[in-house]
Amino acid sequence: MKDFLELKGKKVVIVGLGASGYWAAKWLASVGARVTVSELRNAQGLDPKTLDELAGMGVRLETGGHKESTFGEADTIVVSPGVPQDIAALSKAREKGIWVTGELELASRFIEAPIVAVTGTNGKSTVTSMIGHALTRGGMKAYVGGNIGTPLSALLAQGLEPEVVVAEVSSFQLDTTETFCPRVAILLNITRDHLDRYRGFGEYVESKLRIFQNLGEGSCAIICDEDPILSALDLGSDRRVFRYGLGAKKDRHAYVQKGSMVVRNGKLREYSLRDYKLKGLHNTQNLLAVGLAYTFFGLEPDLFQTAIREFEPLAHRMEWVGQTNGITFYNDSKATNVDATVRAIEGLDRPIVLVAGGRHKGASYEPLAKAAKGRVKAVITVGEAAHLIEKALSGIIPCYRAESIDTAVREAYSRAAPGDIVLLSPACSSFDMFSNYKERGEKFKQVVRRIIHGQG
């Protein structure tokens, strides 16, 4: 690990007490920084054990709002990903010359292990977890973290020394990067998302492309050239770029051919897809990115074939929940944007009754209408965006409004026939009705289990 001496005694304000704020506070306090956490929520809405733990480490806690005076006295301000960059207190701090950064940027400066960074509109968590598993299977000591749930500052706080760090990286985290330089930078796809936070799609694209801004000698970029934006991306001749897609092409380094995955990264390797459990063509694309990352480190090829057999779908991502009366239920609550729902629909080969809706994120639902035609027999809409989805699907797919996930699932089940799939794939965020997509997915699964067990 690198020397933390430069942090000792520094006045650091951490904005937001989510996972990244919590671990950043623990790490920085443990190395002697004078830490203040500024949280918008009141203390009553926070975990008392967390508050007591941080207070015991000497962390000052400021709840119920962000005070400009606190920000103005800081040497450094560390912003959690969920906090908008343009709030007044941050703007005034920047005007005073105070360094405003993100947890990812700050933590990465003190990590010596090579970093594999994964971003994209969809598939980040799946690819991150698969790469971590594959590298571990290949014999490397891997730490999996970032936006997937465990921040990089947790690695530092716990004094861990992995051989490789695999990090899911969101656009919000990339917004605050300056020197962040992964050894392997993976960009899976870019489609319209988070338009409720960015001023336009172009700004969102620029945010994603920041993952490549500091790539240097010994690093590489991995991109899907079936994505219309990434296919035209030119990173220059001085950077190693590996491209992948489902079909074989001259310039592709990974593709699918006759039921196998082919990787051309130095030597040509071929892996059977027969035992790969993740459904949908998008998950086959995801596997190609994983294969390129694995072979970059020169690990034993046969062990990657074993890893392919072992990969399991993550919870809330096309997760099989159960079956009753010939009707199958899938939980895809992590599909918080339109493109993710489109991919889920296109990856299934049976009639679908779709449960969709939640908080609108600014993107058009027209792609959903196009994908649903001929595949989806009915849509049960919920949440704030229900009327927008219904408007886009008007005259194409029958829509039925429900007031809750509970009633939506029961309505979907009543309209499904043997052989059909009831799919929760919302195309929206969960924040109108739930604290996060996980809570939404768990509620879906609870209702499905009651239906399967005949509990009404």
Q: Which residue among 124, 316, 334, 360 is the active-site one? A: 124
- pLDDT confidence tier of residue 1, bands split at 50, 70 and 90: very low
CB within 8 Å of 99: residues ≥ 6 apart: 75, 76, 77
The dihedrals phi and psi of 167, each to the nearest 5 degrees, come to -125, 125
CATH topology of domain 319-452: Protein-Tyrosine Phosphatase; Chain A (3.90.190)
Q: Which residue among 66, 122, 147, 208 is the active-site one? A: 147
**Residue of 260, 290, 282, 285 whose CA lies nearest to 135:** 290
Q: Is 283 a catalytic residue?
A: no
Sheet of 267-272: strands edge to edge? Answer: 142-146, 164-168, 115-119, 184-187, 220-224, 240-244, 254-257, 260-265, 267-272
Please give the pLDDT value at position 408: 97
Domain with CATH 3.40.50.720 in the chain: 10-102
Please give the pLDDT value at position 82: 82
Q: In angstroms, what CA-CA distances link 70 with 11, 39, 74, 86, 282?
A: 10, 12, 7, 17, 46
Does 186 have pLDDT greater than 60? yes
Domain 10-102 falls under CATH 3.40.47.10: no
- Residue 436 in 3-state DSSP? coil
Record the pTM: 0.84
Q: Dump the DSSP string for 153-218.
A: HHHHHTT---SEEEEE--HHHHTT-SS---SEEEE----S--TTTSSSHHHHHHHHHGGGTT--TT
| Per-residue pLDDT tens digits for 353-407 | 999 999 999 889 999 999 999 999 999 999 999 999 999 999 999 999 999 999 9
Count helices and strands in the chain by DSSP H and E runs: 16, 20
| Mean pLDDT, range 119-140, rounded to an integer | 95
Q: In angstroms, what CA-CA distances link 409 with 352, 401, 414?
A: 13, 11, 9
- What is the dihedral angle through the alpha carbons of 52, 58, 62, 67, rounded to the nearest 10 degrees? -170
Rounded CA separation 212/10 (Å): 30
| Mean pLDDT, range 271-296, rounded to an integer | 93
Q: What integer best gives the mean pLDDT of the chain?
A: 93
Does 237 have pLDDT greater than 80? no
Q: In angstroms, what CA-CA distances link 272 with 27, 269, 290?
A: 43, 10, 14
Rg of the Cα atoms in the chain = 23
Q: Which residue among 66, 133, 194, 445 is the active-site one? A: 194
CATH architecture of 111-310: 3-Layer(aba) Sandwich (3.40)
Q: Is 124 a catalytic residue?
A: yes
Q: Which residue has the higher pLDDT, 6 or 10?
A: 10
The dihedrals phi and psi of 56, each to the nearest 5 degrees, come to -65, -20
Does 247 have pLDDT greater than 60? yes
Helix spans in 266-415 (H): 281-296, 301-310, 338-346, 366-372, 386-393, 405-415
Does 4 have pLDDT greater than 70? yes
Please give the pLDDT value at position 3: 66
| Mean pLDDT, range 296-324, rounded to an integer | 93
Domain with CATH 3.90.190.20 in the chain: 319-452
Does 265 have pLDDT greater than 60? yes
| Mean pLDDT, range 259-276, rounded to an integer | 91
Please give the pLDDT value at position 456: 57
Please give the pLDDT value at position 239: 78
Rounded CA separation 7/307 (Å): 40
Q: Is 249 a catalytic residue?
A: no
Domain with CATH 3.40.1190.10 in the chain: 111-310
Please give the pLDDT value at position 117: 98
Alpha-carbon torsion 19, 24, 29, 34, what sign?
negative
Does 195 have pLDDT greater than 80? no
| Mean pLDDT, range 298-311, rounded to an integer | 94
| Mean pLDDT, range 132-157, rounded to an integer | 95
Displacement of CA 313 from its chain's centroid (Å): 14
